[in-house]
Amino acid sequence: MIKKFLGLAIATLVFCGLMATGATSAKNDAYDDSAELREAVDSKGVMKRLRKLDKIATENGGTRASGTPGYDASADYVAKKMEKAGYDVERQEFQFDLFSEDSPSEFSQVTPTATDYVDGQDFDTMEFSGSGDVTAELVAIDLVIPPGAEASSSSSGCEAGDFTGTGVTGKIALMQRGTCDFAVKADNAIAAGAVGAIVFNEGQEGREDLLLGTLAAPVRSVPVFGLPFALGEELADGETSGPTGVTVRMFAETSSENVATENVIATGTTGDENNIVMSGAHLDSVGEGPGINDNGSGSAGILETAIRISKLGIEPENRLRFAWWGAEESGLVGSTEYVAQLDEYEGAAIALYLNFDMIGSPNFGRFIYDGNGSAFGLEGPDGSDTIERVFQRFFSAEDLATGPSAFDGRSDYKPFIDVGIPSGGLFTGAEGVKTEAEAALYGGTAGEAFDPCYHADCDDISNVSKRSLDQMTDAVAHSVHTFAFDLKFVRETEAERMARAETQGSPRDRAGDAYVR
CA–CA–CA angle 452, 15, 42 (5° rounding): 50
What letter does residue 461 receive in the DSSP assignment?
A: G
Q: Is 328 a catalytic residue?
A: yes
**Residue 93 included in any domain:** no
Mean pLDDT of 510-516: 40
Please state, in angstroms and rounded to a whole number, the distance separating the CA atoms of residues 405 and 410.
Answer: 10
The answer to whether 257 touches 96, Cβ cutoff 8 Å, is no
CA distances to 45, 161, 209, 245, 471 from 238, rounded to whole Å, are 55, 21, 20, 10, 47
Domain stop point among 220, 255, 290: 255
Helix (H, G, I), strand (E, B) or coil at 219: coil
**Residue 129 included in any domain:** yes
Residue 438: which pLDDT band, with cuts at 50, 70 and 90? Answer: very high
pLDDT of residue 467: 98
Percent of the chain with pLDDT over 70: 90
Phi, psi of 264 (to 5 degrees): -110, 120
Please state, in angstroms and rounded to a whole number, the distance separating the CA atoms of residues 356 and 430.
Answer: 13
**Residue 240 included in any domain:** yes
pLDDT of residue 24: 38
**Residue 1 included in any domain:** no
- Print the domain residue range for 216: 102-255
Please state, in angstroms and rounded to a whole number, the distance separating the CA atoms of residues 329 and 213.
Answer: 11
Which residues partner with 365 through β-bridges?
A: none
Q: Is pLDDT above 90 for 336?
A: yes
CA distances to 214, 278, 417 from 351, rounded to whole Å, are 30, 8, 12
Mean pLDDT of 420-426: 97
Please state, in angstroms and rounded to a whole number, the distance separating the CA atoms of residues 353 and 321.
Answer: 9
Helix (H, G, I), strand (E, B) or coil at 127: strand
The answer to whether 390 touches 479, Cβ cutoff 8 Å, is yes
Residues 306 and 351 both lie in one domain: yes
Q: Is pLDDT above 90 for 432?
A: no
Mean pLDDT of 37-45: 97
Residues 176 and 131 both lie in one domain: yes
| Catalytic hit among 328, 398, 431, 438 | 328
Residues 294 and 205 both lie in one domain: no
**Residue 66 included in any domain:** yes
Residues 353 and 296 both lie in one domain: yes
Residues 242 and 127 both lie in one domain: yes
The dihedral region occupied by 263, where left means phi > 0, alpha psi between -120 and 50, and beta the remainder, is beta
Please state, in angstroms and rounded to a whole number, the distance separating the CA atoms of residues 226 and 218.
Answer: 18
Number of structural domains the chain divides into: 2
Percent of the chain with pLDDT over 90: 82
Segment 182-195, tens digit of pLDDT: 999 999 999 999 99
The answer to whether 241 touches 213, Cβ cutoff 8 Å, is no
pLDDT of residue 500: 59
Segment 132-190, tens digit of pLDDT: 999 999 999 999 999 998 888 899 999 999 999 999 999 999 999 999 999 999 999 99
What's the 3-state SS for 349-387?
HEEEEEEECCCCCCCCCCEEECCCCCCCCCCCCCCHHHH
CATH number of the domain within which 66 lies: 3.40.630.10
Q: Is pLDDT above 90 for 15?
A: no
Please state, in angstroms and rounded to a whole number, the distance separating the CA atoms of residues 493 and 495.
Answer: 5
Helix (H, G, I), strand (E, B) or coil at 218: coil
**Residue 516 included in any domain:** no
Residue 97 corresponds to which amino acid?
Answer: D
- In this structure, what is the dihedral angle of CA atoms 118, 328, 352, 475, given to the nearest 10 degrees? -60
**Residue 2 included in any domain:** no
The radius of gyration of the chain's CA atoms, rounded to the nearest angstrom, is 22
pLDDT of residue 410: 85
Residues 224 and 309 both lie in one domain: no
Q: Is pLDDT above 50 for 485?
A: yes
Domain stop point among 226, 255, 284: 255
Residues 108 and 165 both lie in one domain: yes
Please state, in angstroms and rounded to a whole number, the distance separating the CA atoms of residues 333 and 513.
Answer: 10
Residues 155 and 241 both lie in one domain: yes
**Cis omega (within 30 of 0) on the bond before 243?**
no
Q: Is pLDDT above 70 for 19?
A: no
Residues 16 and 56 both lie in one domain: yes
Residue of higher predicted confidence among 403 and 515: 403
Please state, in angstroms and rounded to a whole number, the distance separating the CA atoms of residues 366 and 443.
Answer: 11
Helix, strand, coil shares, percent, the chain, to 5:
35, 25, 40
Residue of higher predicted confidence among 331 and 36: 36
Q: Is pLDDT above 70 for 212?
A: yes
pLDDT of residue 5: 37
Give me the chain's average pLDDT, please.
91
Segment 286-314, tens digit of pLDDT: 998 999 999 999 999 999 999 999 999 99
CATH number of the domain within which 221 lies: 3.50.30.30
Residues 293 and 251 both lie in one domain: no
Residues 187 and 63 both lie in one domain: no
**Residue 248 included in any domain:** yes
Residue 461: which pLDDT band, with cuts at 50, 70 and 90? Answer: very high
pTM comes to 0.84
Residues 196 and 317 both lie in one domain: no
Domain stop point among 209, 224, 255: 255
